[in-house]
């Protein structure tokens, strides 16, 4: 299989807000780490911290930490 045909996993990302409803309104689909970095304002570092299943929305949830600040949540920590 060529790299051109490789199907990438899409990541759901939402920004941290005061409550779940407000946060879910910011949900976007991210195609790559480069796209995530761009959406977050090009931070020097991006890390993921696994939280577990959020049964309210059925996400296997991760904190997204940019430059040592929790900026949002995702449903994955990788794209492949």
Q: What is the rounded CA–CA span in Å between residue 3 and residue 37? A: 22
- The verdict on residue 79 lying in a domain is no
| 58, 42 contact by CB (below 8 A) | no
pLDDT in tens, 25-76: 999 999 999 999 999 999 999 999 999 999 999 999 999 999 999 999 999 9
Q: Which residue in 38, 33, 37, 44 sits closest to 10, CA to CA? A: 33
Mean pLDDT of 8-21: 91
Better-scored residue on pLDDT, 78 or 47: 47
Count of the separate structural domains present in the chain: 1
Decide if 43 is inside a domain: yes
Domain coverage including residue 21: 8-74
Is residue 8's pLDDT more than 70?
Answer: no
pTM reported for the whole predicted model: 0.84
Residue 2 has pLDDT above 60, yes or no: no
Half-sphere exposure of 39 (CA within 13 A, CB side): 20
Query: pLDDT at position 3, please?
Result: 42
* pLDDT of res. 79: 74
Beta strands 59-66 and 69-74, pairing class: antiparallel
């Amino acid at each position: 299989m060529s790299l051109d045909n490789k199907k990438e996993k899409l990541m759901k990302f939402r920004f941290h807000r005061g409550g779940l409803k407000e946060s879910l309104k910011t949900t976007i689909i991210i195609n790559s780490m480069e796209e995530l970095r761009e959406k977050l304002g090009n931070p020097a570092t991006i890390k993921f911290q696994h939280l577990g299943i959020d049964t309210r929305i059925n996400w296997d949830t991760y904190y997204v930490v940019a430059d040592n600040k929790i900026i949002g949540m995702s449903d994955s920590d990788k794209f492949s």
